Structure 1
Amino acid sequence: MSNWADLTTGKRIKHLRGSDLTQQGLADAAGLSLALVQKAEQDRGELSIGSLLRLAHALKSDVSVILGQQAPRRGMNRGDRAALRQLSDAVHESALGEWEGIDDPSSVDELSAVRDLAWQAYWASDTTNVSGYASKVLMEGQVRYASATGVERERLGAILASTYRVAASCSTGFGQRDLALSALTSAKHLAKDVDDPVMTALLESTLSWIYLRGAKLPRAVTVAERAALAIEPSFSSGSRPQLIAYGRLMISAAVAASRREDESAADDYISQAHAAAARLGREEKLYGTSFGPTAAKTEAVGIHVALKSYGRALDLANQPDVRSLPKTMSKVARNRYKLDVALAQCAVGLHDQAADTLIEVALDAPEWVRHQALPGVIGKRLAKVSTARVRNIGELIGMPLIA
Structure 2
Amino acid sequence: MSKQAATLEADPQLHEVFWIMAHEPALGDNLARIRVSKGLTQEDLEERSGVSVSTIRKLEQNDRKSARVSTLRRLAQALDVRTSDLFQPSPEPVSPLDESVHTDLFALRRTLKPVRGLSGIHMPDFDGEVTYESVRTSFLAANALYREDDYRAVVQTIPTLLLEAMTLVAEAGSPDSDRAARTLLSQTFQFSAQALIQLQQYDLAYQAITEGIANAELADDPLLGAWHVFNECWLFLREGRLEDSRRAALTTAETIEPRFSTGNPAEFATWGWLLLWASAAAVRNNQGDQAEDMLALAEAGAHRIQGQELEAPPFWAARGASTFAGFSPELIQIKAVEYAVVQGNTARALEIQDTIHLSGKLSSSTRHRHMLDVASAHASEHNTAESWAILRDLRTRVPHWLRYQSFARRVVDQLIEDRSRALRADQAEIATFLGIES
On whether the aligned pair clears a TM of 0.5, the verdict is: yes
| Correspondence for 1:332 among 359, 365, 368 | 365
Q: Match of 1:111?
A: 135
TM score, norm. by length of structure 2? 0.74
Higher Cα Rg, which structure: 2
Check the 8 A contact 2:272/2:298 in 1, yes or no. yes
In the alignment, the residues of structure 2 paired with residue 30 and residue 168 of structure 1 have an alpha-carbon distance, to the nearest angstrom, of 36
In the alignment, the residues of structure 1 paired with residue 236 and residue 284 of structure 2 have an alpha-carbon distance, to the nearest angstrom, of 12
Q: CA deviation at 1:212?
A: 0.8
Structural mapping, 1:3-402, within 5 Å = 17=23, 23=25, 27-28=29-30, 39-40=58-59, 41=61, 43=63, 47-49=67-69, 57-58=89-90, 60-62=92-94, 75-77=96-98, 80-93=101-114, 96=121, 98-105=123-130, 107-148=131-172, 149-281=174-306, 284-286=311-313, 287-288=316-317, 289=320, 290-291=323-324, 292-293=327-328, 294-322=330-358, 325-326=359-360, 329-383=362-416, 384-386=418-420, 388-389=422-423, 392-396=426-430, 398-402=433-437
Q: More helix per residue: 1 or 2?
A: 1
Task: Write out per-residue CA displacement over residues 170-203 of structure 1, whole angstroms, 9 at most, x where no aligned residue.
Answer: 1112221111111111111111212211011111
Whichever residue aligns with residue 304 of structure 2, its letter is R
TM score, norm. by length of structure 1? 0.80
Check the 8 A contact 1:91/1:164 in 2, yes or no. no
Q: Which has the larger displacement, 286-295 or 261-270?
A: 286-295
SS in 2 for 1:388: coil
Q: CA deviation at 1:221?
A: 0.4
Task: Write out per-residue CA displacement over residues 370-398 of structure 1, whole angstroms, 9 at most, x where no aligned residue.
Answer: 33232232123212134522785242462
Residue ranges of structure 2 left out of the alignment (5+ in a row): 8-18, 37-41, 43-54, 73-82
In the alignment, the residues of structure 1 paired with residue 332 and residue 137 of structure 2 have an alpha-carbon distance, to the nearest angstrom, of 27
Check the 8 A contact 1:154/1:194 in 2, yes or no. yes
In structure 2, relative to structure 1, the CA distance for the partners of 1:240 and 1:59 (3 Å cut) is: closer
Q: CA deviation at 1:233?
A: 0.7
Task: Write out per-residue CA displacement over residues 233-259 of structure 1, whole angstroms, 9 at most, x where no aligned residue.
Answer: 112211222122112111111111121
Check the 8 A contact 2:202/2:235 in 1, yes or no. yes
Whichever residue aligns with residue 285 of structure 1, its letter is A
Check the 8 A contact 1:118/1:134 in 2, yes or no. yes
Check the 8 A contact 1:118/1:130 in 2, yes or no. yes
Whichever residue aligns with residue 195 of structure 1, its letter is D
In structure 2, relative to structure 1, the CA distance for the partners of 1:29 and 1:182 (3 Å cut) is: farther
In structure 2, relative to structure 1, the CA distance for the partners of 1:5 and 1:117 (3 Å cut) is: closer
Q: How many residues align?
A: 378
In the alignment, the residues of structure 1 paired with residue 33 and residue 160 of structure 2 have an alpha-carbon distance, to the nearest angstrom, of 41
Larger relative contact order (Cα-Cα within 8 Å, sequence gap ≥ 6): 2
